[in-house]
């Protein structure tokens, strides 16, 4: 077999479970015997396509209002998420995270993917949102973040609708596959892993998917 082992990753850059899940995938891949055959393909998914560009309330209050839950309960959940992130080598600051619309961030990732930098773009935007309190819909900041990792031509995105169709196709395919939550990892078009299940579970799924192609 000479074809790549493709992992399609549907995620959103403001989704905490997506960031945890992609880090868990990275840990699993370190132990995956066929890592050199793996190709990651980042696919767009918007948790809230109708999200505003900016909010005048902190994340914890917005989440509490959405789920009709006390803010204190959301703080506990955020602390747990930050602890899980720390175990994976990340330092999050959900207190300073700026909720926003992520459509243009997905366009940046789509552009980066055409230059072989999709994974780097996704990781950089995750870090900007969860660790650095950046507004990941701000065009100027998106330009700067993309330039950091070597992506070319981002400023031209804001003068056209380039990669809009790419994002919409990703979202349509997610709908066709019945994906309603992220992260969703489609392994070699064979197995779907949904949610941040842990690196051991992801590694097990990787091994099963490889065994299926070799059967």
Exposed / middle / buried, residue 160 (Cβ in 10 Å: 0-12, 13-18, 19+): exposed
Tens of pLDDT along the chain (215 residues) come to 458 999 999 999 999 999 999 999 999 999 999 999 999 999 999 999 999 999 999 999 999 999 999 999 999 999 999 999 999 999 999 999 999 999 999 999 999 999 999 999 999 999 999 999 999 999 999 999 999 999 999 999 999 999 999 999 999 999 999 999 999 999 999 999 999 999 999 999 999 999 998 77
Residue listed under structure tokens 């999050």: 92
CA distance 59 to 43: 24
Q: Where are the domains of the chain?
A: 47-162
Q: Is 136:14 a contact under the CB 8 Å cutoff?
A: yes
Q: Encoding tokens for residue 33?
A: 């015997």
What are the backbone angles phi and psi of residue 6, rounded to the nearest 5°?
-90, 130
Q: In this structure, how many other beta carbons lie within 10 angstroms of the beta carbon of residue 129?
A: 28
Topology (CATH) of 47-162:
Glutaredoxin (3.40.30)
For 8-18, b/e burial (b = at least 16 CB within 10 A) is: bbbbbbbbbbb
- In the chain, DSSP assigns E strands to 5-11, 38-44, 184-187, 191-194
Half-sphere exposure of 35 (CA within 13 A, CB side): 10
């Amino acid at each position: 077999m000479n074809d790549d082992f493709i992992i399609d990753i549907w995620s959103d850059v403001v989704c905490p479970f997506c960031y945890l899940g992609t880090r868990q995938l990275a840990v699993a891949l370190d132990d995956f015997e066929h890592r050199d055959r793996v190709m990651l393909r980042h696919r767009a998914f918007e948790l809230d396509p109708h999200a505003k560009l900016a909010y005048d309330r902190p994340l914890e209050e917005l989440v509490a209002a959405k789920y009709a839950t006390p803010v204190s309960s959301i703080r506990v959940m955020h602390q747990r998420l930050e602890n899980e992130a720390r175990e994976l080598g990340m330092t999050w600051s959900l207190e300073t995270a700026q909720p926003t619309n992520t459509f243009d961030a997905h366009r940046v990732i789509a552009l980066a993917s055409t230059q072989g930098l999709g994974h780097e773009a996704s990781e950089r935007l995750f870090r900007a949102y969860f660790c650095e309190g950046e507004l990941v819909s701000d065009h100027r900041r998106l330009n700067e973040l993309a330039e950091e990792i070597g992506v070319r031509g981002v400023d031209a995105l804001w003068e056209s609708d380039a990669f809009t169709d790419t994002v919409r196709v990703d979202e349509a395919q997610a709908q066709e596959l019945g994906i309603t939550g992220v992260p969703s990892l489609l392994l070699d078009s064979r197995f779907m892993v949904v949610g941040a299940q842990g690196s051991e579970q992801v590694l097990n799924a990787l091994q099963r998917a490889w065994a299926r192609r070799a059967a």
